[in-house]
Copies of this chain bind each other. A is one copy, B any other.
Amino acid sequence: MTSENQPRHSQSELPCVLSLKLPPSFLTFGDHFFDSPKFQYLKAYESPLPLPQFLQAHAQSVQAILASGAAPVTAETIRLLPRLGLVVTTSQGLNHIDLSECHRRGIAVAGAGTLYSADCADYVVGLLIDVLRKISAGNRYVKQGLWPSQGDYPLGYKLGGKRVGIVGLGSIGTEVARRLDAFGCSISYNSRSKKSLVPYTFYPNVLELAANSDVLIICCALTDETHHLINKEVLSALGSDGVIINIARGPIIDEKELVRRLVKGEIRGAGLDVFEHEPAVPAELFALDNVVMSPHCAVRTWGSFEDLRKIVIGNFEAFFSNEPLLTPVALDHLPHLSR
């Protein structure tokens, strides 16, 4: 019996995407958020099998992987999947994917593209104003009922005129620069190379950038080269009146050293959305009003997740139709892979 309502493919004919772990967005949007009539998911997290056995059992089916920051794609996983041709991740960062192995095998990688850039840049500005103008701390002061008895709140610091140093002038860093320009900040940056079309001052290394900045904003990717890039020397160069904002990845900062300085008052303040061992956060910072912390929220808006849905599904559908990917990562251009 045939009918117009019958699907063109039966479920078993559809190409398979491996989903390693329930993506965080599923908790908000439900299990079918990334569904498409053109492919099906093999959900490793629903199987009682340990991952290696699960992968061996489906080795000939898996053509693509849906990854997220919480679901790393290791070289071991990749080696068990001979037909793997694509990894799509829901996160801005790529440090959870073994890009060398993908590059070696010719496996394509698609990321979030510039999807999160505006939201991340908004969040940077929010954290920075919060630290300088003490908004979270003032909110607590009012909500604890202290205003009537303890009077005026301590003065904050002006944003206008601040020398802002951006570490990593990619798509997020550029959006940050554009926004802070409108507040009368002067913008400098450090990047792998000087950008020809950009009106901001370039510093060839982070140490020089920090020495010439009141505010240091971390917007670069986490790689072997940027691990603990913001170390004791850079924090010293930023100085005791400096402010640091990190919405990139925790391990880019030597967190132990930053915490030591914050506790000792050797730096003015910090806005931290990411941490070296998140969700574990240094408890020494809990009592500090000049530290604003958030639980990795810079990309987390309703709007960005709706857009993410279109990009993730679109990338898989393009791959299975032999069309160009929507947001491919140019692995050949990643400096630590292109040797």
What bracket does the count of chain A residues touching chain B fall in? 35 or more
Does any Cβ of B come within 8 Å of A232's Cβ?
Answer: no
| A154: chain B residues within 8 A (beta carbon) | 28
State how many angstroms separate the Cβ of A258 from the closest Cβ of chain B. Answer: 15
Instruction: Chain B residues near A129: list those with CB within 8 A.
Output: 122-123, 125-126, 129
Report A290 CB to chain B, min CB distance, Å. Answer: 12
Contacts of A118 in B (CB 8 A): 158, 160, 183-184
Identical chains bound together, number: 2
Q: Is the CB of B297 within 8 A of A156?
A: yes
A293 touches B158 (CB 8 A): no
How would residues 168 to 194 of chain A score, 1 for a CB under 8 Å from any chain B CB and 0 otherwise?
000000000011011110000000000
| A152 and B295 contacting across the interface, CB-CB below 8 Å | yes
Is B153 in contact with A294, judged by CB distance below 8 angstroms? yes
Interface residues of A in 125-146 (CB under 8 A from B): 125-127, 129-130, 133-136, 138-145
Chain B residues lying within 8 Å of A303, measured Cβ to Cβ, are 157-158, 160-161
Cβ 8 A contact of A138, one of B24, B182, B294: B294
Cβ of A178: which chain B residues have Cβ within 8 Å of it?
182
Is there a chain B Cβ closer than 8 Å to A45's Cβ?
no
Do A135 and B294 touch (CB < 8 A)? yes
Task: Judge if A74 is at the interface, Cβ distance under 8 Å.
Answer: no
